Structure 1
């Protein structure tokens, strides 16, 4: 009988579900906005993933939850920490990676891992949405630009401006001043992305940069931030493996892989 496991990553901004079989193949997956009801979000994403895989709930042998809302997934068997799940997911996609930068909606985290995906050391910055997706949301809303477009706009920058803080309140004041001075939108955004990159890379260097570095979390979908990170680091980042959006689904995949170990016992 085939073994099927589910990884459910309930983040503050998005919820991801991945279904794997015993060969570690993706059978189905889903992603949706979390909203205010985390339990409901996990249920809806789980249902969508099951539909994508053409499976019933009874076909799933084990469910592992992770993320901001991992304790609010009513159908879970166990829950694991974000760090554990992301590390396992990243090493699955990128076996050579030993350093990971995870930039999500609520926090930025840097960690170094062992070849098996075990976390050796980590650092967390969760103050003022520092270096996190929540800061990008505030910037996009204030500039009245869709979140999905700000990354591409910043790539056009020829004269990036200095944004000295990634605290949303302080940065907003700086952005107001830049707009009043007639600064181009792309130059303001590039400055904001550089500020995010600088603070994120400071965190990464505290844990140590070993060989290749992977990027996980929703911010990996923003090409402007990715470019600023790569410029500051001086090397390419590993993310979005083989079209599977590995960076975005790393937590869910990692949780599912940990569930597969349990299900096979």
Structure 2
């Protein structure tokens, strides 16, 4: 059975085409100012990469904060359920799942079947989401993708105490004026984000394996900071940003077969 998962997030739209337990195609598109167009583009690209026609897709399941924008869906699931199912599919021993999106972070406890057991979500002003990292990259005048490797080159620990993006950015500016090396500032940014996320994880309980999903999973600085704070290795899928869409497609197949 061919199913599709479409994850419409705050900044990107991801689509996965699945045949049983085999990924046929996937795509990710930046939403920009036209979410509906991004949804269509991501889905069409995934369909083309999968080498199937739209008619062959028996069920489309939408997830993400913008899931109702996916006008051609047959069903919807929450981001929490999609993350849980997708993470356990990729890491069968996963019991703790962390999802850091553009605007919020979530910590999930899951069971062996990929079902949600417990969860905690941060508030939107907390310094624990992808938008915070983007703002700090701008303050440091470095590319977002350079932040993680830059943090790994730090030689001294400095602190950023603010838990609000505006105040944290002000702290970074002060560090810049104090001629603090950029690697040390980048590490401080990652430590601040990781501490906020780790506090969420501790509230649901740290049970290995711990898996980080979402695009921020590509940030090696954050992965290292989280692993250190949690005291366990944080696993990251090869394509962490696609886990929600994958989980939605899996749940679609499972609901169709009963």
Scaled by the length of structure 1, the TM-score of the pair is 0.94
For 2:4, the equivalent position in structure 1 comes to 6
Distance 1:216 1:126 in 2: 18
Q: Within 5 Å, which residues of 2 pair with 1:22-33?
A: 22=20, 24-33=21-30
Match of 1:160 among 139, 157, 160: 157
Within the alignment, does 1:82 sit opposite 2:79 as a pair? yes
Within the alignment, does 1:92 sit opposite 2:89 as a pair? yes
Distance 2:173 2:100 in 1: 25
1:59, distance to aligned residue in structure 2 (A): 1.3
Structure 1 unaligned blocks of 5 or more: none
For 2:185, the equivalent position in structure 1 comes to 188
- Please tell me whether the aligned partners of residues 25 and 47 of structure 2 are also in contact (alpha carbons under 8 angstroms): yes
Structure 2 unaligned blocks of 5 or more: none
Match of 1:43 among 40, 46, 49: 40
Q: Within 5 Å, which residues of 2 pair with 1:218-257?
A: 218-240=215-237, 243=238, 245=239, 247-257=240-250
Relative to 1, partners in 2 of residues 1:35 and 1:129: Cα closer, same or farther, differing over 3 Å?
Answer: farther
Size of the aligned set, in residue pairs, is 258
Distance 2:205 2:126 in 1: 23
1:129, distance to aligned residue in structure 2 (A): 4.7
Within the alignment, does 1:52 sit opposite 2:49 as a pair? yes
Distance 1:201 1:129 in 2: 13
- Please tell me whether the aligned partners of residues 61 and 263 of structure 1 are also in contact (alpha carbons under 8 angstroms): no
Distance 1:113 1:87 in 2: 6
Structure 1 segments (4+ residues) deviating >2 Å: 262-265
Q: What CA deviation, in whole Å up to 9, does each residue of 1:221-245 have, x standing for no partner? A: 11111111111112211111xx4x2
Q: Within 5 Å, which residues of 2 pair with 1:99-110?
A: 99-110=96-107
Within the alignment, does 1:72 sit opposite 2:62 as a pair? no
Cα RMSD after superposing both structures? 1.2
Q: What CA deviation, in whole Å up to 9, does each residue of 1:65-115 have, x standing for no partner? A: 000110110111111100000000001011111111111111011111111
Distance 1:117 1:164 in 2: 36
- 2:125 aligned counterpart, secondary structure: helix
1:37, distance to aligned residue in structure 2 (A): 2.1
- Please tell me whether the aligned partners of residues 13 and 35 of structure 1 are also in contact (alpha carbons under 8 angstroms): yes
- Please tell me whether the aligned partners of residues 206 and 230 of structure 2 are also in contact (alpha carbons under 8 angstroms): no
1:53, distance to aligned residue in structure 2 (A): 1.2
Q: Within 5 Å, which residues of 2 pair with 1:113-192?
A: 113-192=110-189
Match of 1:202 among 193, 199, 203: 199
